[in-house]
């Protein structure tokens, strides 16, 4: 399994729940969660194969910024 960490601008718990749900529709075998307490509003994705560009594209499609955290 791999873990990828993304920086987002998601602020609200309701937003994070919606985004996790949408991501799980595309990546049903992933473990996905947000850490909204972190200053970078971290999105963590744990899966055997992570498609960074697809995750970023999906989060962006809901009006949120998302980038790989280096």
57 Rama sector, left if φ>0, alpha if ψ -120 to 50, beta otherwise: alpha
pLDDT at 70: 84
pLDDT tens sequence across 41-51? 999 999 998 89
Cα distance between residue 30 and residue 39, in whole Å? 24
What are the structure tokens assigned to 20, written together? 């996790």
Instruction: Give mean pLDDT, residues 18-28.
Output: 97
- Which residues have a Cβ under 8 Å from the Cβ of 2 and sit 6 or more positions away? 46, 47, 48, 49, 50
pLDDT at 50: 87
């Amino acid at each position: 399994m791999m873990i990828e960490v993304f920086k987002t601008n998601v602020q609200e718990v309701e937003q994070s729940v919606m985004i996790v749900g949408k991501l799980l529709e595309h990546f049903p075998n992933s473990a996905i969660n947000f850490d909204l307490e972190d200053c970078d509003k971290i999105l963590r994705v744990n899966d055997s194969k992570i498609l960074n560009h697809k995750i970023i594209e999906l989060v962006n499609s809901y009006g949120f910024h998302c980038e790989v955290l280096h």
